[in-house]
């Protein structure tokens, strides 16, 4: 089992938090409780640190920090988390829920959705009528594992 973040060097934790564009949360910080919660209220785990990633550079920093400090890692996408794998106890939760960008290349018919986008968020955005978002029964369900499908408008 990975050591709790409270055993980490405080200066290392502060430097890590300062380097993240999205910020770092600890149990004593405002927003921690909301950030650690997922749709399934039966999941009540408490990560020692939550990295609120704003982009790929933050994700790389978080993975590197966890590896260097032997921390258990969990990854949160859109926040649905029915099985609870998005939240760990005493480790580093890498929170991707703020990464909600969608890019459409109409020429190649490719769509890139960042991991924080949810099915509800993807259907609420304007898009060419030929693009279909992934189907799901819950609008809070994340889309990272469900790339959009291009359907011919004709």
Q: What is the pLDDT of residues 111-136, one digit of tens each?
A: 787 888 876 654 445 555 555 555 55
Residue 74 confidence (pLDDT)? 96
Find the helix or strand (DSSP H, E) in which 94 lies.
strand 92-95
- Farthest-apart Cα atoms in the chain, separation: 60
List the one residue out of 137, 139, 146 whose CA is nearest residue 112.
146
Residue 148 confidence (pLDDT)? 36
Q: How far apart are CA 78 and CA 39, in angstroms?
A: 10
Q: How far apart are CA 78 and CA 70, in angstroms?
A: 26
End-to-end CA distance of the chain: give it in Å, rounded: 55
CATH of domain 5-95: 3.30.43.10
List the one residue out of 106, 114, 9, 113 whose CA is nearest residue 59.
114
Helix, coil or strand: residue 67: helix
pTM comes to 0.76
Ranges of the chain whose pLDDT falls below 70: 1-6, 79-81, 119-154
Find the helix or strand (DSSP H, E) in which 32 lies.
helix 32-36
Residues pairing with 16 in the sheet? none
Domain with CATH 3.30.43.10 in the chain: 5-95
Give the CA distances from residue 132 to residues 97, 110, 152, in Å, rounded to whole numbers and listed in that order.
Answer: 22, 12, 10
């Amino acid at each position: 089992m990975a050591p709790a973040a409270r055993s980490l060097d405080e200066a290392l934790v502060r430097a890590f938090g300062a380097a993240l564009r999205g910020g770092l949360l600890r149990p004593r910080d405002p927003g921690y409780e909301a950030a650690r919660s997922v749709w399934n209220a039966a999941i009540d785990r408490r990560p020692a640190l939550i990295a609120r990633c704003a982009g790929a550079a933050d994700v790389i920093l978080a993975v590197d920090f966890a590896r260097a400090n032997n921390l258990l890692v969990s990854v949160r996408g859109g926040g649905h988390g029915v099985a609870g794998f998005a939240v760990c106890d005493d480790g580093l939760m890498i929170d991707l829920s703020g990464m909600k960008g969608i890019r459409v290349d109409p020429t190649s018919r490719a769509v890139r959705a960042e991991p924080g986008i949810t099915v509800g968020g993807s259907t609420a955005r304007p898009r060419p009528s030929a693009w279909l978002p992934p189907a799901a029964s819950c609008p809070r369900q994340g889309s990272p594992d469900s790339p959009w499908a291009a359907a011919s408008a004709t």
